[in-house]
Structure 1
């Protein structure tokens, strides 16, 4: 490592971060954090302050070495970001095995120590413990314990389990150096077509509030400290009421609407997050339409929301980081990924940055252009004192997390923590419990395992099914069929990332629906459907012998539930509409308001 450990005359050892041979106040862990913050801030140049205001994506090589190659999601070499642009906050994307990831983290911290002040790096991450694999929303990481999606945790409505999950995830994050969780996502899923429902706790504000409080306690503890992972709770002031259910990652989804006059309802989970002590907040991309006294610009540029609502009404003094990519366009997959500057598209990059800072944000996510801030200050458009307000918050967080005192992790220990057997077992148990039993005609479930049972399967690994019976190739040969389905969605054209968002119609295309029904009419069939958002399935519900919903579960978890080795305990965290007509008539900001739902919010049978 590049930083020397020195001793004072009275024998106190300290890390000489700025390499000047003496103990500066910010290097002294015995001093109050506020003193350390002010001492370090007084030594920082404009360029060093500007670098702190940016957090962007970073990758690693498979062997854990630093990534210098330029790619779509990693547009700047690591050494340039750390030593050239003086950035020290990064959102890690694909990672490798735990030991190599921890070694990469330590190499990155060593690189940061080569800068003038030795400010350590803070690594953040999107969710990694469930089943989604969308680089713009959440990532699946094989080494970590695997749990249901957050919507599945909500189906169990068990705050103690949620806190246990968050504590396990915290330990696994810490082992590889991740110190900020870019979650929980506490938007209310009041528009059933929205593509990001699986990352939420559903459409009910009270249920979500219970979940978020437990989640934050598990990651942060009672207060942020050296064993914490700080939570960046999102997306303030609630990103669920999307017009037509489209997502504001893309221009056609930029508008957020409130025809039910229900804006305040979407704030309730955030009130629970503030009470639990969330360290950070992320506003969403959407621009609100038709609200009194709120400008119709994206929330990250919105002073009425960031300063008026978040800072003044709620008194939040933590870090506010924008969602990713508000300032500049990006090249991805051969497409131009437009900056999500909704409502201020006409402004220049500098003007967008100024408006966001004026609104009250502290940091720009998914951007790596600190020179823009330097230019704004040097031209007199922003006073340097405005940067100091945000840099104080960012430095305070690093000190609270203990990064200045020891930024390194034990790479040798990481494999024994990440994905250890008891963590995996807890995730497996949660997968099984979170199933929702929606129909069980003549109590067909649980099935009885018996010799010679002939099973027809779809989307289930044959080796798993063979543990319970003889797998046959057609419904006509079978005694029972077990189908695993994915909630339907419209496949969008466009860039690869756009196709990862499941959006649009909630019903199966007619040809696929008829194919499924033909199986259901030939043989008693257990249907299991992965609900990453609601589905319109009245005919499937009618003709199935049994109907299960899951929110992220592997094949063995399903089969254990079907054959009675585990029992489904979940309740629907959102309603399942009876038709697309009912979906089109419901109000996107109002919970469980579709006409005559097929299955209402909170529904769930048991064995």
Structure 2
């Protein structure tokens, strides 16, 4: 950096960030501004790295020797098969040093990475998938998970996490359900706020253990037409606001989220990346959002046309696509230079005003100042080696996995297992002895399979046997584009082996469900993950039938990224547990639950339907939506909020501090919950509200509060739910968010079928 810049105002850390941004923008050329709106990801292999995966000054000089700088580098740790934490940190340091020393103004680069359930990197701690974390109904746990993820990310030099996903998942055919916190907007919002606070603290991103988080995907990505990823979303503005925008608004207003990723899909014919109403009117003007909007990968190009995939065709070329995204307010194009390479030309041609570019770039620069990158641009590789995947973080991964496991059936109290009576256990199934982490996963230091976890837990007390039983797909890896069905002949050979093994055992632990190929993000035509049915893939039900014929008790575990219609499995299992994807400690957590060392307390964050024909199956439907079916039940297989325990709980009477309040006033609902069983355990007390008469139809009930309570036997605790205006309000006939006077029914229970209720009357405001 030239000596003349040493006293530049933008380098003075004592000045307000707004002043530093203005000073720096005033010094930048149009090309330097455009460079801040660019990122490299896969291209870094050729433009920044050498053959050994390390930084190459020669290649950097070849591609970035003009001195204009670069805005971001994407996913730095994924080059050449994944760097160790120390190598990861050294690489980000080397790249950062080059741009600080070789760009005209010394503007640092920002590194972003995927952090869905842990940093996607080698040795990083891998937690349960978000759909699993949601089953814990525990915002404090979620905050802790993402606090650790932020710490490990920042130690490696990452500044921005492309997480959390606060999409509301309304169609389980969609392959990205595993990335979400489920089907309910209140639950998603509560956990979304917790995740933001874990990543950012109180926007303390200048600290050495915090990162900027990025809310995904804005908006309505979770209800794509036909369950196809990126498909149009056909919902009204009212539905959009009350279901899909709600978690984003709360994560921004309450959590202080600093970045948002626009979604691939279109709403009412307008792709999100071109929607001024969505990204300007709602996000910035209504919600006062002052952060950055990043594009989803290649999505600006899709406004025009993306070869071999699709195009929205609201732009005729790269220039028009860029102009649409700029006017909508997309600050930076991810992941590679493409449409925004024409930014400077658009300004020179008068298609875009330079003031528009200044507005977008200014917010990108503000983030770099907030992160403290001008003062503290580097990290310590030795620290990264110490903190990433450390024992302290592994302990949280285990605890989170325990809290995720959800007991759906336990006939005859077969669980927890009596180690004095069980001498031989057959662990069978395609997910029994393989790594199952789900999508956007790093490579943790170790993964404990169910077989290994049970073998270690039983020790010398029982013989633990293993058989694969059948395969789901060949390979089954998330990155394997082609999905190859399992071989029928080979599967039936494996089933026969499993049957013989089961005959030798006192008990069968059956581990089935899905794999990383059968539920995943469909990002290209040759990499699909959405489905037309919800049955278990392959010959897993044949395996169930064959094992049931042996006559031994079957304890079944589901590992999967989406709800599966497991009617046959549920009927033929003595016990059934939903595990989703539990992270690196899966087998240890399962063993702790099966042997009674931990009492399961998970609850379903999404409905499990009886079949794909029962969709949509979410619980908070309108009154006319579930009238019945010819020849079938209309009810779900297992409802939202459901989950059993090894102990029993009872609720006392509901009491309202005030049974009548005026519009704008608040009250509190109180209930005492008691552990009436013989074991300590956790219960999630859930509050649902229904507006009995309203100007537009309202859901039959909506989750508006929950509290996870840990109780010893015979212990009681009072749970207090605030009944505030925001819990009673809705978007009325005139699309105003208001509380309408009238009667409300307040339901409290242990799932969405809660029957204990209390009526609240809301009177017109006295001021009216």
User: Under a length normalisation based on structure 2, what TM-score does the superposition of the two structures give?
Assistant: 0.68
> What residue is the counterpart of 1:471 in the other structure?
464
1:119 matches 2:101: no
> What residue is the counterpart of 2:196 in the other structure?
216
Shift of residue 409 of structure 1?
0.3
1:274 matches 2:252: yes
CA–CA separation in structure 2 for the residues paired with 1:481 and 1:18:
71
Secondary structure of the residue aligned to 1:571 is: coil
> What residue is the counterpart of 1:7 in the other structure?
none
CA–CA separation in structure 1 for the residues paired with 2:93 and 2:555:
49
1:574 matches 2:609: no
| 1:79–1:233 CA distance, 2 compared to 1 (3 A) | farther
1:559 matches 2:591: yes
> What residue is the counterpart of 2:638 in the other structure?
599
* Contact 1:242-1:588 at 8 Å conserved across structures: no
Secondary structure of the residue aligned to 1:478 is: coil
CA–CA separation in structure 2 for the residues paired with 1:367 and 1:550:
37
CA–CA separation in structure 2 for the residues paired with 1:366 and 1:80:
20
CA–CA separation in structure 2 for the residues paired with 1:493 and 1:50:
31
> What residue is the counterpart of 2:337 in the other structure?
368
> What residue is the counterpart of 2:423 in the other structure?
452
Matches within 5 A, 1:88-487: 88-92=71-75, 94=78, 95-113=82-100, 114-127=102-115, 129=117, 140-227=120-207, 228-248=210-230, 254-258=231-235, 262-264=239-241, 265-275=243-253, 276-289=255-268, 296-328=269-301, 337-338=308-309, 341-344=311-314, 347-369=316-338, 370-450=340-420, 452-458=423-429, 459-461=431-433, 462-467=451-456, 468=458, 469-472=462-465, 474-487=501-514
Shift of residue 402 of structure 1?
0.2
CA–CA separation in structure 2 for the residues paired with 1:101 and 1:320:
26
| 1:43–1:285 CA distance, 2 compared to 1 (3 A) | same
| 1:31–1:497 CA distance, 2 compared to 1 (3 A) | farther
> What residue is the counterpart of 1:547 in the other structure?
576
Secondary structure of the residue aligned to 1:256 is: coil
The answer for unaligned runs of 5 or more in structure 1 is: 1-16, 72-76, 131-138, 249-253, 290-295, 330-334
| 1:189–1:574 CA distance, 2 compared to 1 (3 A) | same
Secondary structure of the residue aligned to 2:214 is: strand
More strand by share: 2
Quick check: 374-383 or 384-393, which moved more? Answer: 374-383
Secondary structure of the residue aligned to 2:182 is: coil
Q: 1:518 aligns with which of 546, 556, 563?
A: 546
CA–CA separation in structure 2 for the residues paired with 1:88 and 1:566:
47
* Contact 1:492-1:498 at 8 Å conserved across structures: no
| 1:140–1:238 CA distance, 2 compared to 1 (3 A) | same
Any idea what the Cα deviations from partners look like across 1:527-564, whole Å, max 9, x if unmatched?
11123111111111111111011122222222221122
| 1:560–1:88 CA distance, 2 compared to 1 (3 A) | same
Secondary structure of the residue aligned to 1:499 is: coil
CA–CA separation in structure 1 for the residues paired with 2:394 and 2:75:
23
Shift of residue 179 of structure 1?
0.8
| 1:598–1:41 CA distance, 2 compared to 1 (3 A) | same
Secondary structure of the residue aligned to 1:362 is: coil
Shift of residue 184 of structure 1?
0.8
CA–CA separation in structure 2 for the residues paired with 1:560 and 1:52:
50
Any idea what the Cα deviations from partners look like across 1:177-226, whole Å, max 9, x if unmatched?
11111111100011121111111111111111111111111111112431
CA–CA separation in structure 1 for the residues paired with 2:193 and 2:427:
43
CA–CA separation in structure 2 for the residues paired with 1:498 and 1:28:
51
Quick check: 554-563 or 439-448, which moved more? Answer: 554-563
Shift of residue 260 of structure 1?
11
| 1:319–1:569 CA distance, 2 compared to 1 (3 A) | same
Q: Report the number of matched residues.
A: 557
* Contact 1:190-1:588 at 8 Å conserved across structures: no
> What residue is the counterpart of 1:6 in the other structure?
none
Shift of residue 176 of structure 1?
0.5
CA–CA separation in structure 1 for the residues paired with 2:412 and 2:618:
36
CA–CA separation in structure 2 for the residues paired with 1:169 and 1:510:
35
* Contact 2:43-2:336 at 8 Å conserved across structures: no
CA–CA separation in structure 2 for the residues paired with 1:243 and 1:285:
13
**Per chain length, whose mean CA-contact separation is higher, i.e. which structure has more relative contact order (CA < 8 Å, sep 6+)?**
1
CA–CA separation in structure 2 for the residues paired with 1:372 and 1:150:
38
CA–CA separation in structure 2 for the residues paired with 1:168 and 1:532:
23
Q: 2:19 aligns with which of 16, 35, 48?
A: 35
> What residue is the counterpart of 2:658 in the other structure?
none
* Contact 2:607-2:619 at 8 Å conserved across structures: no
* Contact 1:437-1:549 at 8 Å conserved across structures: yes
| 1:381–1:589 CA distance, 2 compared to 1 (3 A) | farther
Shift of residue 510 of structure 1?
7.3
Any idea what the Cα deviations from partners look like across 1:60-110, whole Å, max 9, x if unmatched?
88xxx9525699xxxxx6656654573221221624211110000100101
For the aligned residue pairs, the C-alpha RMSD in angstroms reads 3.0
* Contact 1:66-1:107 at 8 Å conserved across structures: no
Shift of residue 161 of structure 1?
1.2
| 1:510–1:383 CA distance, 2 compared to 1 (3 A) | closer
Quick check: 530-539 or 509-518, which moved more? Answer: 509-518
| 1:280–1:493 CA distance, 2 compared to 1 (3 A) | closer
Shift of residue 520 of structure 1?
3.0
User: Under a length normalisation based on structure 1, what TM-score does the superposition of the two structures give?
Assistant: 0.85
| 1:60–1:145 CA distance, 2 compared to 1 (3 A) | farther
